[in-house]
Amino acid sequence: MSAMETYRAWCASPAVDAATKAELAAIGNDPNEIEERFYRSLEFGTAGLRGILGAGTNRMNVYVVRQATQGLADYLKTVSGGAEKGVCIAYDSRRGSERFARETAAVLAANGVRVCLFSRLHAVPQLSFAVRHLGCMAGVVITASHNPAKYNGYKVYWSHGGQCAPEQAASILACINTVPMFGETTCDFDAAVADGRITMIGDAEDEAYYAACLSVLPYPELLREKGASLPIVYTPLHGSGNLPVRELLRRAGVSNVAVVPEQAEPDGAFPTVSAPNPEDPNAFRLAFALAEQTGARVALATDPDADRLGVAVKRSDGEWAVLTGNQIGCLLLEHLLSALSEKGALPKNGAVVKSLVSTQLADAIAARYGVAMIDVLTGFRFISEQIDRFAATGEKTFLFGFEESYGFLAGGHSRDKDAILSAVLAAEMCVSYAERGMTLYDGLQALYRTYGYYKERVASYTLEGKAGMERIAAAMQSLRDDPVRSLAGLPVRAAEDYAAGVRLCADGAAEPLVLPKTNLIRLLLDGGAWVVVRPSGTEPKLKLYIGGRDESEAAVDHLLGALHAEIDARLRSVLFDK
């Protein structure tokens, strides 16, 4: 059916509630809005669903959630033990999250699938942990992570605690596609709780999760003795992190924590920020003001589902530095590996896993400590797959994983990025540096002196709607049709097209790529600099990553600026020029 035909079917359906019909009636004279809402079904991929809240097949609403859940239930019934092991469900503070979680639970219960639902909002790493701890076959988190307030989403996890693999996502999507809109089987939520089809969970799972996190800390005695001396400002950015982050810090011994009051309570409108994203320095505005009052020299921030951690530190000149995800990841990596080495506990088969677009400073750190570094595609599920493989084969011992997009994980008790544990590790790191008379910013400069100035730039181009998706696709195709030969005077020694699965070298040789196929292009330049371009898998964005190394900060900054200017002009000519 056309978008207009689907729109009219929704308007006429007795399954659609009055409020939704009123919303649809309000756009009746806006064909462009109707087209945007109904030209496709919201895409289900390895990150599940994510979209703007509202009525329509291309929007997040109860009808789309029910249809997706019916497809998930149908898929679970094809998996041995799937319905019996069931699904664990969590949700964050976003608009509609609790209702979507209850609707998900009701559809699963009506289909004979075991359901464990957190009784209040919980974070992504807590859900990831609970899936494994409770022996569930799958998990669902209702969240749109760090996106603006108009978004929500539906993330699906598998029994290993990581997000479902591409093959599973494709199979779930195939099941979803057989479910007609408004064709799900559901039940009364309260009745399903009363008769035991839905089990509400909470405190016991929290205790198990906290114990697992505390076991990862390399210097627990240091935090117990000196943790109270470290003043910290923390903001959950109106999300799910407030309770678990504060509780884990308290249990570890970090008690001098001031929480930004305006951002402490869950609020899906995120009224104090344009987007609840700890990558954005503006998200720290209120935290900095509170830090000036409390004397804190470090500020921590988590996003709504508490899987991403931002860190800001005060420099000796009194200015605040908001660290990049690469800088936080490398500081945490150095902290963990140096501690294990000092204690003689560094395993001979230790491994670190990072995304392909993350800094190569991490490679240098791992090499110094004799630890294997494994690069994977963007998306933390690829890191969790490696953890699962290590656990099954014993080939490696997982030590740490990270993405430049502010996602970090140590220990492997959770299988997704964990801002709760990472916040405590960051606090421990600050205390450890303080014992040496250093701040966290001093520690970062020490890394650069030891390994050289590895720096990176990340840029995003946001193009929403159908036209935006077409522009993004055109930009990627232009890089394939007219390959970049050089940037900033540096020849491209190899161009990797992960959609084709091939590396094309400057001498004309073609080599197969080992990693799975995805829509990503990486340019490797003479001198070690690199550029990656890829569409976001969860947002209407084209993303650009640039990295390089030099012996001085000024030199590497100049290099990155020149590289960015050239590739940015190339991309903008396709994305925005008429």
Q: Which residues are catalytic?
A: 145
- Is residue 156 within 8 Å of 164, Cβ to Cβ? yes
Distance of alpha carbon 419 from alpha carbon 309, whole angstroms: 5
Distance of alpha carbon 424 from alpha carbon 29, whole angstroms: 53
Helix or strand holding residue 546 (H, E): strand 541-550
Distance of alpha carbon 258 from alpha carbon 255, whole angstroms: 9
Strands 151-158 and 49-52: antiparallel
Sign, CA torsion 457/372/211/429? negative
Residue 293 token pair: 């009052």
End-to-end CA distance of the chain: 31
Pinpoint the alpha helices (H) of 39-96: 62-76, 82-85
Distance of alpha carbon 406 from alpha carbon 309, whole angstroms: 6
- CA 562 remoteness from chain centre: 29
For the CA atoms of 54, 59, 62, 63, the dihedral, rounded to the nearest 10 degrees, stands at 120
Q: Give the DSSP per-residue string, 383-422.
A: HHHHHHHHHHH-S-EEEEEEETTTEEEESSSSSS--HHHH
Helix or strand holding residue 299 (H, E): strand 298-302
Residue 482 is classified by DSSP as: S
Residue 551 is classified by DSSP as: S
- In the chain, DSSP finds a helix count (H) and a strand count (E) of 20, 23
- Is residue 532 within 8 Å of 545, Cβ to Cβ? yes
Distance of alpha carbon 559 from alpha carbon 546, whole angstroms: 10
CA distances from 116 to 100, 160, 191, 200, 521 (A): 15, 16, 15, 6, 41
